[in-house]
Structure 1
């Protein structure tokens, strides 16, 4: 009798314990959140339960894996080149900097790198919401060269986040104008709302616009912007607070549609 190994892993934000043969082939996995042991080999049930015994925290269901949902089937059939889920935070900026890094010595820092650092910090904060039932897509391309910096989908709805680096600078917001430091104000909120509107059209669901300011020394907002939230990077976890808008199945279905590059070609 071959001794089975238990290997921990995380998949789509859920902790799983895979039960493997010595050659690495999976025979089962234990989903802690669902309290279920999914068997791929019925003839190994006793061995699987014996291997998992130290990890089981209560009664569990045992049986074959559940039938894939439509969202899971759509993900499995999606061509890797069309899957946006692997995009890293700031993917478009990363590619641009790698292709044209610029001179080794500059009088002023490359603004692309400041923007990239801001998007990476925001993306890391959003990815930490995955365990609470939220899904994030980074650097979602839109026709015409624009993009949604981060698309957040979860129990509280859908949000299109635009990230603005503002490290140690004063930021003034007077809808639709945004001024950072001593720079002249510009109507950035028009762009933030337009990207959210295009995302709403692509997904046939309400997508709310959010402006995220990373590292500001001070933020002043003249009046609450119309149908738009202005947050600092420290306030990002608050987006995950409200719920009751989308069920888990709706979150997964919308995520499956949003990760398909073809979805965004019609906006």
Structure 2
């Protein structure tokens, strides 16, 4: 039973941690504006009276639930993390160099099956990027094909999301503490940066498991299959279903010139 509950707890902690960090910063900035019990009136007074009726544990649970809701809205997914990383730090590699080599080698098989020995480099890069964009769906498919790999990848992905989100929201916390208390708190930014690096390492480890699953053919990418079957789909009398062209929702290589926002291919493809 505990093993079945662990994935749920993993995905609860990030929203709650983000909500708690946001709430704590708001309390530091505006806590003095909240009147005490003997000074409250209106809605705030009724909330104080409600705590007397239901008890502090219930009020604490309600506050925790509210923090969770706020955190779930404020938390940053890995796709948004990749975009934010590009804005502030440059392109974020979602996999290690070794995994990228294996992924490119696997992508080339889609062309080799069709007899294309020298495929267009931009098309190969686009296929690799599409497979990376499909990682969340590939992880879900592992539930049916290999639950152990799914559990380990999901654990690492949850660790990455937790660490990166906490790192991002503690950056503003150190600034708030420095403005409200002491400038020495700015040294905490170093801890946030270390936490961010550790989160990126966990993300790459989680994606590395997915890459190995794809290479070992535990699961397959639909983009890979579409590319592999493209010649069959282009033959009008083959009887094969028409496969839609590759769709690339966004690119993590803004300077590659391979695609545009919205998945429309450039003239070079």
- TM value normalised by structure 2: 0.23
The structure whose residues are more often helix, as a share, is 2
- TM value normalised by structure 1: 0.23
The structure whose residues are more often strand, as a share, is 1
